[in-house]
Amino acid sequence: MFLQLKNITKRYPGVVALNNVSLDIHEGEVHALVGENGAGKSTLIKTCTGAIAPNEGTIVIKGQEFTSLTPKSSEQMGVGVIYQEFNLVDELTVAENIFLGRAIRKGFVIDQKAMEVEAAKIFKQFDIKINPRELVGNLTIGYQQLVEIAKAISQNAKLLIMDEPSAPLTQTEALALHAMVEKLKASGVTIVYISHRMDEIFKLCDRITVLRDGEKVSTINTSDTNLDDLVTLMVGRELTETYPDRKDCISDEILLEVNNLSGNGVNGINLKIRRGEVLGLAGLIGAGRTELAELLFGVKSKSGGSVTLHGNEIDPKLPKEAIGYGIALVPEDRKRLGALLDVTIRGNICISIIERISKFFTRDKKEEQRIAVHYKDAIRIKTPNLEQKIKNLSGGNQQKVIIAKWLATEPSLVIFDEPTRGIDVGAKSEIYALVNSLVEDGKAVLMISSEMEEVMGMSDRILVLREGRITGELDRNDFDQETIMGFASQN
Amino acid sequence: MDNSDTLNGAGKLASKYAKQFGIYIVLLALLVFFSIASENFLVSSNLLNVARQVSMMGIAAVGFSFVLLLGGIDLSVGSVITLVNIVAAYFMVNLGMPPFLAVIIALALSAALGFSNGWIIANINMPPIIVTLAMMIIIEGIAYLISGGLPIYGFAKSFAVIGQGYVGPIPIPVIIMVVIMGLGGFILNKTYFGRYFYAVGGNEEAAKLSGIDVKRVKYLVYTLSGFFAGVAGIVILSRTNSGQVLSGKGFEFDVLTACVLGGVSVTGGVGKISNVLAGVLILGVLSNGLVLLDISQFVQMVIKGTVLMLAVALDCLQNRKES
Amino acid sequence: MDNSDTLNGAGKLASKYAKQFGIYIVLLALLVFFSIASENFLVSSNLLNVARQVSMMGIAAVGFSFVLLLGGIDLSVGSVITLVNIVAAYFMVNLGMPPFLAVIIALALSAALGFSNGWIIANINMPPIIVTLAMMIIIEGIAYLISGGLPIYGFAKSFAVIGQGYVGPIPIPVIIMVVIMGLGGFILNKTYFGRYFYAVGGNEEAAKLSGIDVKRVKYLVYTLSGFFAGVAGIVILSRTNSGQVLSGKGFEFDVLTACVLGGVSVTGGVGKISNVLAGVLILGVLSNGLVLLDISQFVQMVIKGTVLMLAVALDCLQNRKES
Amino acid sequence: SGNKDNTDAGNDQIKIGMTVQDLSNPTWSGYCKAIQTKAEANGAKMSYVACESNVSKQIMQIENFVARGVDVIIVHPADPAGIENACKEAMSRGVKILAWDDDIENADVRWLIDNYDLGYQVGKEASNFINSKHGGTTEVAILNYPQLPVLLARGNGIRDSITKYAPNAKIIAETSAINPDEGITKMETIFQSNPDVKVVACIGGGGSIGANEAAKAAGKNAPDFGVFAVDATKPELDAIKNGEAVKMSMIVTGTDEDVATQVYGFVEKLATGVEVPARVYRNVIPVTAENVDKYYTANR
Ligand SMILES: Nc1ncnc2c1ncn2[C@@H]1O[C@H](COP(=O)(O)OP(=O)(O)OP(=O)(O)O)[C@@H](O)[C@H]1O
Ligand SMILES: Nc1ncnc2c1ncn2[C@@H]1O[C@H](COP(=O)(O)OP(=O)(O)OP(=O)(O)O)[C@@H](O)[C@H]1O
Ligand SMILES: [Mg+2]
Ligand SMILES: [Mg+2]
């Protein structure tokens, strides 16, 4: 037994994040932690690393009992961790980040060279191409995640905790990560693995612990369960199919036409979306999908080509103008780009329309309230109170609030950029249902996703991007993972 | 979860009230203390005095708290006051302009200076503290250049009304302050662009993607800050009846202190005008009360610094407990 | 991808050099300009003068840039200088202490004041600008209380050496500055805790979770800021031979300006000492050169403000292009 | 005036409030302290504040003194025109006003000094030195402070008088210096451009002390090098005594005690309703090596 949690309770003002949770982690196993958004997974592992102190309960590591751990002491006990939020310092080099807090030094003086050499060794071991002297801020998200992993490995951790390590990764990068996990396991490292991606849970993990609303539901052997049962344990009810059916609602009317669009890292893009259609955009990270969305939404300006909406050529210079044309963008980074965390749910839902519904600059609060209530009910945002700040909601509900904000603008084209990243299975299927109802309503949807299953499950048609260009187009009947990967990574 | 949320709601509410009233409790405590300690304090003429004394700060604090809400700062407030003083005085005295016209021009100038701050901050992406510091130095230099360092005085009698007149027993500067604070509260709570201040201050990137023209919000906020500073400058000019190169010196720190005492966060996104008023009044009451008690000016400095430190510390500790 | 990364790397490198030298190019341009415009400028004794005049600012700028790296600010720097002036003078003159002891005590005091700033900022979680503003007001009050506003002077002859002496042709303050800047550079680049400044300034949460004692880093940085301000205060005292309540007034803004000119970001995480030196020198050369050219004081203000604005704007535009 | 229903023993005690421009200036902190000492010795109560040359602040201080119920306010105006109304209001509430240095309308006594004339006297002394030591031709630097109106006038007086009485002297620099540090910095720079400068005339003691230190450091501490100034602060007197560069500093009225005696005399008369002249002019005395011992006993 490597790690034992005994009766852990963690309370935040008004929330019991963990309620009397006990858990054993066996030496050498890969142990999955699953549950809905807000179930308490991250909180639980933070108590193991000393990032937060539980209100009650004890933690036993290798037989040694702790009531108050610190990040330092857990590290000394051989616990390494990759947190859900990035914990890198952009301003420091890769090597310095890997050795942050444990710099190789002589007296007060650090030894940069030695750290670079050590870092290079780790990268070599796992076949990663990163320059240890590069500043972390200059790396893409995928590479940053690899640095995080290298950082945890460099501690020679006996227990490695990974909180949604694959969330920011594309399929290929995720596969590399899986290989790494298996290598580590083979070398005797114990692993706790948190993920919302069910496929990797079943692929990698020996045992699974399910949390729901801060309580442990059960711990089971992977071999004793299947997807449906696990999902039922997680959400506490039976879930109908993941990708709900939708009526065939594609009309002949072309809503958006893009001709030879260039700029912001994309080149010569041609595409058409019809009313009632879900067009999927697949590709690896860095393929230029978000960049394309930014051009359409007026975040960045184009350098050439044209965009036609409803038959009129448009050239939005600001998101504000794009919204005016009836375009909406649900951005990929919810916390950084989507939510006004300190503002209420109502405020968030109404922020894009308050100007429109104001009279003589003065807000119409009744109307704001009506709209907020309407969308809360329509897409079932789980909150007793619209005056809650959005930061107090779970990830899935935050995402719904942001979608509600866009629905309130009554758009004709909705762009979803990684709409279900870090969102639990239950909330996922609700968001899919929402996408369906949008297209059934005669709107068009452009859906960017790095989850292969998701693009294939939801799209009527898929465009594949690579290095800023469209490299392939597939109709629903031709959808095939291999083909798409081929387009995305061909040379 | 529903249950805990309600609990949460109730706890938040209580804590919200404590927070909302916290600053008023400090103010009340000061009022009670000085009323007991000095017989000259709780006299209507003295209280009106205090109100008049703080009114300039109160006027400028409205624009300043907008800037803080946006996560910025405006160190040029004091120098704008100075320049408005000098320019309005110059126009009235040296160019013989009627007061009304001189005031309009000076206010337009102050708004333009504020706009310049906003423009540079929004377009060059420079840190507000640097932009407004540089602006402060430049504006001060210009004020000295225009006036040659000499006071400019000898205005029409009518001009003195703004700063020295009364409506009934109420000094006109106090009325101006109340109107502008009301306007500030209205902008923040009732207009859509007031909401934008919070949104941009809370998360600029998200605000932009939500369809807010962030640059325009910045132009507006810094323009308002300049403009309200200009109004304060005109009141000061009329009150002192003489254009002075030092009239605004250091004013920005008094205003910053008042806003922060009033619970406006210097990191943006949090604050409300009604509490800023309390912050302004605390500073005024302290200044007045300590003089009434005959506390030496040096000790006064120590006390004021300590009150600022303690009041904000209290606020921070409370916030920390809350989250 | 590898390919574009390399390209990216090369571009970065070029731009990095441009940035690194940018500030030196400004400095060089000023040097060339003043050398041509005034025959008295490019004279070794004048250049040594400039070096001596900026040395106090340079000394204080080391601690100040640490604070900025951490994402903080230290408005109390000027007041610490003032208090160190008054206290050291008081100990030497009124208590008859030997200079050496008085200096040690005054420096310990300055470090203690810096530590207090750090402690409050780290533990109460108050915004640095408020903590150090309140501290500034309090310290100034105390300096007035000790001295009654009167200058204190009449030190032992030996004390004058620190500020007025020479080693060969080099003024001692310049040597002190060079040593402290060297020390600052060493701390930032070579020591593990120096790297912590960047880590905490860049991402405090990450630093904390990596086992860095963030509070201790804050204590250290603010203590160093106080201490170096104290050293600057001692040099000023020895140079003027008289303890004055105004000796540090407004100094923090000169130091802030120097650091920012030297490319230290006010939002934390970015900056290096060698460029701060250039920033300090630019300010010194400007002050000296403009006087040599007999430019009026008022025009000087406008020029200085404009240089600050333009230099930082350039830096920001360059950064923006880069990203 | 004030609230006389006070049950304290000293209910007839005279209460005085004094507001000056700047207490960081030793001249003013010296005067204030001396007057306070004098007042307390006579059983009166006196408190003083500085407005940092900011009129609005001074108006506020006057209002607050009135609210406190003082009998007499001594005001050293940040700006004469600016405080008229506040003084008028104070007088209408029965408070007496003593205006220091400025001839304002709303005051009971005006204790006057003509800053232009004061500067003029400094210039005259400097000119005498130029004429006797340098045959009327040398280079002269003026350390002024145009940022403050009164000092601007003083600086102008210095310049005009040197131009008149030493017409062949060359004024090679006019630059501002209010405190010793600025004085040193500016003089160092001037020594660079004009190493032959022999005379420095300053609007105040801060600049002159700085110039003195700079001259010492530059090895120019000779009998033919002269610094002339106003204020007669102790460091200046020290320098005069020790035969350093400072050769003369103007003292107004006399020592701090002299000032306090005169001022408190007016205050007592005002408070007790005794007639005082509306305008009193102060005399200016140059302090040089000859008479320095007489003033050296001053407490600052
Ligand atoms: N610092 C905090 N203050 C208040 N509440 C918190 C805090 N951190 C977490 N919570 C709450 O505790 C609960 C558990 O959160 P946690 O982050 O552990 O969920 P999770 O299972 O990791 O969810 P996800 O899958 O979205 O990452 C949530 O209700 C969350 O809102
Ligand atoms: N559109 C918005 N943008 C930013 N913040 C908002 C927005 N709407 C609401 N909020 C936040 O929600 C809180 C309450 O908002 P709002 O003022 O609309 O509510 P209210 O109940 O009508 O209150 P009041 O009567 O004080 O205006 C505010 O303090 C603000 O922080
Ligand atoms: Mg989590
Ligand atoms: Mg993307």
Percent of chain B predicted with pLDDT > 70? 92
Q: Where are the beta strands (DSSP E) in chain C?
A: 152-153, 166-167, 170-171, 242-243
Confidence of residue B31 (pLDDT cuts 50, 70, 90): very high
**Which protein residues have their CB within 5 A of the ion that is ligand 3?**
A 42, 84
- Chain C CB contacts of D213 below 8 Å: 164, 239-241
Q: How many helices (H) and strands (E) does chain B have?
A: 13, 4
How many angstroms is it from A223 CA to the middle of ligand 3?
Answer: 25
Best of B297, B300, B301, B303 to mutate (most D CBs within 10 Å, chain D): B297
Residue C155, pLDDT score: 87
Residue C8 parent element (H or E): helix C2-37
Beta-carbon contacts of residue A198 (< 8 Å; ≥ 6 apart): A227, A230, A231, A425
Residue C114 lies in a domain: yes
CA D76 to each of CA C183, D54, D118: distance values in angstroms, whole numbers, following the listed order: 48, 12, 17
Residue A211 parent element (H or E): strand A207-212
How many angstroms is it from A41 CA to the middle of ligand 3?
Answer: 6
In order, the DSSP letters of chain D are: ---TT--STTTT--EEEEEES-SSSHHHHHHHHHHHHHHHHTT-EEEEEE-TT-HHHHHHHHHHHHHHT-SEEEE--S-HHHHHHHHHHHHHTT-EEEEEES--SS-SEEEE--HHHHHHHHHHHHHHHHHHHHTT--EEEEEE-TTSHHHHHHHHHHHHHHHHH-TTSEEEEEEE--SHHHHHHHHHHHHHH-TTEEEEEESSHHHHHHHHHHHHHTT--STT-EEEEES--HHHHHHHHTT-SEEEEEEESSSHHHHHHHHHHHHHHHHTT----SEEEPPEEEE-TTTHHHHHTS--
Residue B161 lies in a domain: yes
Please tell me which of the candidates C191, C206, C211 has its beta carbon nearest to residue A89: C206
In order, the DSSP letters of B152-181 are: EE---GGGGHHHH-EETTEEHHHHHHHHHH
Beta-carbon contacts of residue A12 (< 8 Å; ≥ 6 apart): none
Q: Is D30's CB within 8 Å of C288's CB?
A: no
Boundaries of domain holding B173: 39-249
What torsion do the CA atoms of D18, D23, C223, A96 make, to the nearest 10 degrees?
Answer: 110
Residue C285 parent element (H or E): helix C273-292
Q: Where are the beta strands (DSSP E) in A370-479?
A: 413-417, 444-448, 461-466, 469-475
* Residue B194 clears pLDDT 50, i.e. is over it: yes
Residue C263, pLDDT score: 86
Q: Is C130's CB within 8 Å of B299's CB?
A: no
- Backbone torsions φ then ψ of A274, nearest 5 degrees: -95, 160
What distance in Å separates the CA atoms of residue C192 and residue C2, rounded to the nearest whole number? 31
Tokens describing residue B32: 């009670």
What distance in Å separates the CA atoms of residue C276 and residue C283, rounded to the nearest whole number? 11
Percent of chain C predicted with pLDDT > 70? 92
The pLDDT tens digits of the residues spanning B53-96 come to 899 999 999 999 999 999 999 999 999 999 999 999 999 999 99
* Residue B10 clears pLDDT 60, i.e. is over it: no
Residue A123, pLDDT score: 87
Beta-carbon contacts of residue D285 (< 8 Å; ≥ 6 apart): D250, D251, D252, D254, D291
Residue B7, pLDDT score: 47
What distance in Å separates the CA atoms of residue A365 and residue A373, rounded to the nearest whole number? 12
What distance in Å separates the CA atoms of residue B107 and residue A213, rounded to the nearest whole number? 58
pTM exceeds cut of 0.95? no
Tokens describing residue B176: 């101006």
Question: Within chain D, what is the greatest distance between any pair of CA atoms?
Answer: 70
- ipTM of the prediction greater than 0.90, yes or no: no
Contact indicator for B68, B259 with CB cutoff of 8 Å? yes
Which residue, among A422, A442, A447, has the nearest Cα to A432 in the 3D structure?
A447
Number of residues in chain A: 491
Strands A30-35, A190-194: pairing kind: parallel
Distance of CA C213 to the CA centre of its chain: 25
What torsion do the CA atoms of B4, B7, B8, B12 make, to the nearest 10 degrees?
Answer: 180
What distance in Å separates the CA atoms of residue A143 and residue A139, rounded to the nearest whole number? 6
Confidence of residue C240 (pLDDT cuts 50, 70, 90): confident
What distance in Å separates the CA atoms of residue B67 and residue A297, rounded to the nearest whole number? 28
Beta-carbon contacts of residue A107 (< 8 Å; ≥ 6 apart): none
* Residue B8 clears pLDDT 70, i.e. is over it: no
Q: How many CA atoms lie within 13 A of A1 on its CB side?
A: 10
Q: What is the CA radius of gyration of chain D?
A: 21
CA D35 to each of CA A317, C203, D44, D75, D277: distance values in angstroms, whole numbers, following the listed order: 70, 57, 10, 13, 20
Mean pLDDT of chain C: 88
- In the DSSP assignment, the letter for residue A475 is E
Query: Which domains are delineated in chain A?
Result: 3-235 (3.40.50.300), 254-489 (3.40.50.300)
Residue B172 lies in a domain: yes
| The A207-212 sheet, strands edge to edge | A79-82, A159-163, A190-194, A30-35, A207-212, A215-221
For B18-50, the three-class secondary structure string (H helix, E strand, C coil) is: HHHHHHHHHHHHHHHHHHHHCCCCCCHHHHHHH
Residue A383, pLDDT score: 80
Which residue, among C144, B240, B280, has the nearest Cα to D54 in the 3D structure?
B240
Percent of chain B predicted with pLDDT > 90? 65
C-alpha angle C312-C316-C321 in degrees, rounded to nearest 5: 150
Residue A327, pLDDT score: 95
Q: Is D45's CB within 8 Å of B242's CB?
A: no
Residue B19, pLDDT score: 60
Q: Is C8 on the interface with A (CB under 8 A)?
A: yes
Task: Report the number of distinct structural domains present in chain C.
Answer: 1
Residue D37, pLDDT score: 93
Residue B98 lies in a domain: yes
Residue A430, pLDDT score: 85
* Residue C7 clears pLDDT 50, i.e. is over it: no
- Protein residues with CB under 6 Å of any ligand 2 atom: A 343-344, 346-347, 350-351, 354, 365; B 189, 195, 198-199
Distance of CA D131 to the CA centre of its chain: 27
Residue C151 lies in a domain: yes
Would you call A95 exposed, middle or buried from its count of C-beta atoms within 10 A (0-12, 13-18, 19+)? buried
- Chain C CB contacts of D296 below 8 Å: none
The pLDDT tens digits of the residues spanning B138-172 come to 999 999 999 887 788 888 889 999 998 999 999 99
In order, the DSSP letters of C140-153 are: HHHHHHHHTT--EE
Per-residue confidence in pLDDT tens, chain D, 300 aa: 344 444 344 457 899 999 998 887 778 888 998 999 999 999 999 988 888 878 888 888 898 888 888 999 999 998 888 888 899 989 999 999 999 988 899 999 999 988 899 999 999 999 999 999 999 999 999 999 987 777 889 999 999 999 999 999 999 989 888 888 788 888 988 888 889 999 999 999 889 999 998 998 888 888 999 999 998 888 899 899 999 999 999 998 888 889 999 999 999 999 998 989 999 988 889 999 999 988 876 544
Q: Which atom of ligand 1 is nearest to the CA of B323?
A: 3
What distance in Å separates the CA atoms of residue D92 and residue C168, rounded to the nearest whole number? 68
Residues 228-257 of C with CB under 8 A from A: none
What distance in Å separates the CA atoms of residue C245 and residue B237, rounded to the nearest whole number? 30
Beta-carbon contacts of residue C3 (< 8 Å; ≥ 6 apart): none
3-state secondary structure of A158: coil
How many angstroms is it from D24 CA to the middle of ligand 2?
Answer: 48
CA D220 to each of CA A363, D136, D195, D197, D243: distance values in angstroms, whole numbers, following the listed order: 74, 19, 10, 10, 12
Distance of CA C57 to the CA centre of its chain: 5
Beta-carbon contacts of residue A279 (< 8 Å; ≥ 6 apart): A271, A273, A444, A445, A446, A447, A459, A460, A461, A462, A463
- Chain B CB contacts of A351 below 8 Å: 195, 199, 207, 210-212
Residue B313 lies in a domain: no
The pLDDT tens digits of the residues spanning C167-194 come to 999 999 999 999 999 999 999 999 999 9
Q: Is D209 on the interface with C (CB under 8 A)?
A: yes
Residue B191 lies in a domain: yes
In order, the DSSP letters of B250-296 are: THHHHHHHHHHHTT--TTSS---HHHHHHHHHHHHHHHHHHHHTT--
What distance in Å separates the CA atoms of residue D292 and residue D246, rounded to the nearest whole number? 12
What distance in Å separates the CA atoms of residue D200 and residue D214, rounded to the nearest whole number? 11
The pLDDT tens digits of the residues spanning C270-285 come to 888 999 999 999 999 9
Residue B5, pLDDT score: 45
Per-residue confidence in pLDDT tens, chain A, 491 aa: 788 999 999 987 667 889 999 999 999 999 999 988 778 898 999 998 888 889 999 999 888 888 778 888 888 888 988 887 768 998 899 999 999 988 888 888 989 899 999 999 988 887 778 899 999 988 877 788 889 888 888 888 889 999 988 877 777 778 888 888 898 899 899 999 999 888 899 999 999 999 988 899 999 999 998 888 888 888 777 666 678 888 888 888 999 999 999 988 899 999 999 999 999 999 877 788 999 999 999 999 999 999 999 989 999 999 999 999 999 999 988 878 888 888 899 999 999 999 988 888 889 889 999 999 999 888 888 887 888 888 878 778 888 899 999 999 999 999 999 888 878 888 888 889 899 999 999 999 999 998 888 899 999 999 999 889 999 999 988 988 888 888 887 65
Q: What is the CA radius of gyration of chain C?
A: 20
Q: Which residue has the tokens 């890292």?
A: A265
Using the CB atoms, write b or e for A15-33: b if 16+ within 10 Å.
bbbbbebebbbeeebbbbb
Residue C5, pLDDT score: 44
C-alpha angle C227-C231-C235 in degrees, rounded to nearest 5: 165
- Chain B CB contacts of D20 below 8 Å: none
Residue C92 lies in a domain: yes
Residue A445, pLDDT score: 96
What distance in Å separates the CA atoms of residue B205 and residue A340, rounded to the nearest whole number? 10
The pLDDT of C299-303, averaged and rounded, is 91
The pLDDT of B231-258, averaged and rounded, is 90
